[in-house]
Amino acid sequence: MGIRIGHISDMHLPGSRESEGIRKLLAAGGDPLGNLRTALAELAEEKPDLLLMTGDLCHEGGEEDYADLRELITKYLPGVPVLGALGNHDVRDAYRKGFLGDNYGGGHPYCDTLEKGGYRFIAIDTAWEKLLLGSVGEDQLNWLEKVSRQPVEKGNILLCHHPFCPALAHTGMAMPPRLERILRGGHFAAIFNGHVHRSCTGYAAGILHITGQSLAFDIEVRGSTCYYTTRGGYNMCQVDEEGAFFIDSRIVSPKGSVYQQKSI
């Protein structure tokens, strides 16, 4: 039997420490919360087996912001398992307390696993140092190697915020040699990530590499210029019994308008 995966990323829900960039987005008619509601309503009709979130969930949000996110997901997708990887705009202590209900909290890297449909989904924290280009420390790699070597029926699937695909290395992160060895030797079927605010698919360490579009705003790269638009989207993924992936990229706000641009 196959498995259906909802993949949302980079929602940037305005939190208690709203940034200038988010203010510009909202002033231009962007609606991160509305886009999220639309995506969750559409996903509810698809009846996914689980929901993956690949970072920048709340934009510098507090505990109450993550609690609101959890409540919203539960409203639209009751009973659906959820696994998140955190991004460079997430606040780890607030996520642990508000989304997970972990009273102990803490700002250390957030790593977790979830098993569904014969797959083990593994979340690592490439953004815990708040670095734009990401990093993975030895402690996380030790944990990932140990977890990924444990028996699993159909394979491991990695979640993280930053992409490793060589074509995206200038905006994601370069693949550390040890991580590549772990991935190549750990029976990994796919890598889900976000961060670059556009949907694309490639390969990293010989593994299918799925980058989700942002639900908050899209970044179009043309030459040496990045154009920020109010468009948002998400992915619906179907994995068949043989392990073949089909990725359907969905746009929830197709009439996006450019609200700022930057040179790279």
Q: Kindly report, residue by residue over 18-41, the tens digit of the pLDDT.
A: 688 899 999 998 999 999 999 999
Region for 118 from its dihedrals, namely left if φ exceeds 0, alpha if ψ lies in -120 to 50, beta otherwise: left
Q: Kindly report, residue by residue over 110-168, the tens digit of the pLDDT.
A: 999 999 999 999 999 999 888 788 999 999 999 999 999 999 999 999 999 999 987 77
Q: Kindly report, residue by residue over 162-197, the tens digit of the pLDDT.
A: 999 877 767 778 899 999 999 999 999 999 999 999
Is the pTM of the predicted complex or chain greater than 0.85?
yes
CATH fold group of domain 3-263: Purple Acid Phosphatase; chain A, domain 2 (3.60.21)
